[in-house]
Every structure is written in structure tokens, then in C-alpha cells.
Amino acid sequence: MKTSTKILMCLAGIALVVLGVLCIIYPGSTLVSLTWAFGLMLIISGCSTFGAWATLRAINPFSGLTFLAALLQVFLGVAIIVMPAPLVVALPFIFAFWVFYEGLNLTLDSFNYKKLGFRRWWVLCLLGVLAMCGGCYCFFCDPSISATTIAWLVGLGIIADGIGNWVKVAAVNRVEKKLNKLADRFHQVIDIEDVEEVK
């Protein structure tokens, strides 16, 4: 790998770690950024749906519905980017509901594991109940905890990605050193064989 590429990867890693820390420090801005990203994703999805509609409208009997779906996606995406506040307010509640739902699923699954003879089924049940309690608390008592948790998860994920860049560079350096050692040994063996042939 070129040295310039390694330097760029290290700089990208630093930038990602800084961005992750900022996400954790400023959870409100993180939620707004997530909302904009979601709006942009809807716009891109709508544009690709428009492309599919334009390509297949001659053979698709439901091309009108495809066009309508694309139009709604783009409209909703633009609305979210222009007015992100409603979704920013809704995100913590969506997250809290998701945590509650996953906890409920885990609790119900634990009883299936009990029927299958899994001894530690109660651990899954306990974790599921705790997740349900956490979801209820974030939903009804303190939605700001959900907002902070989302920001922390995003921030930690970005930090992990940045650290991953540094690890990749370190791994490439180690592999390159090993390959150079093998190449040196190979050249030494070739040189010895050439000397013996001359003798």
C-alpha cells in the first residue's frame, strides 16, 4: 500500500474519531444530522424509483403506483430536510418503542428456549424484561435518555470506524514487513544457489 494512502487512512481515522466524539457531546445536533440523512436517503430512494418507473412503465401495469410511490418518497424526503423538527422529536420515541419491542421479542423467545431445554433461558427472559422496562421508561418518563442513547450509539459507531482505519494501517504495515522478510530470504537463497552453480 502506498504511503500516501496510509496517511489518508490515518487522517480519515482521526476525523472519524473527532466526529464521533462531537456526536456524543452534542446529541441534539446528532439527531438533526440523522434526520437530514434519513431525508436524503428518501430522496435518493425516490429518484431511483423514478428511474425504475421510467424504464418499466411500458410493461408495468402498476406504473402509476410506482410513480406515486417515487413522488411520495421525494416529497417526504424534502419535507424532512426542510422541517426536521417533527422527526427529531419523534426519533427518541421511535427508539424507545424499538427497544421495548425487541425486549418483548426476547422475553417471548426465552420461553421457547425453555421448552427446548436451554438451562439459561431465564437470562434471556431477564434481559428482555429489562429492555422492556428501559423502553417504557424512555417512552413515558424521560425521552431525552433515548435521544442521548441514539447520539452515543452513533458516536461510538463512528469512533469504532475511525479506530478501524488505524488498525487496518497497522495490519498492512505488519503484513508488508513479513512479505519484505520473505522476499529477503528468497533472494538470499537464490544468491547462494547461484554461487554454488558457479563453483
**pLDDT tens-digit map of 41-94:** 889 888 888 887 777 777 766 677 778 888 888 998 898 888 888 888 888 888
What pLDDT, on the 0 to 100 scale, is given for residue 152?
87
> Which residue would you say has higher pLDDT here, 194 or 141?
141
Lowest mean pLDDT of 80-84, 97-101, 141-145, name the range. Answer: 141-145
> Which residue would you say has higher pLDDT here, 142 or 68?
68
Phi, psi of 2 (to 5 degrees): -65, 150
pLDDT at 194 over 70: no
Query: Residue 20 in contact with residue 156, Cβ under 8 Å?
Result: yes
pLDDT at 1 over 80: no
Give the burial string for 77-100 (b: 16+ CB within 10 Å, else e). Answer: beebbeebeebbeebbeebbeebb
Packing angle, helices 27-56 and 143-198, rounded to 10: 70
Percent of the chain with pLDDT over 90: 6
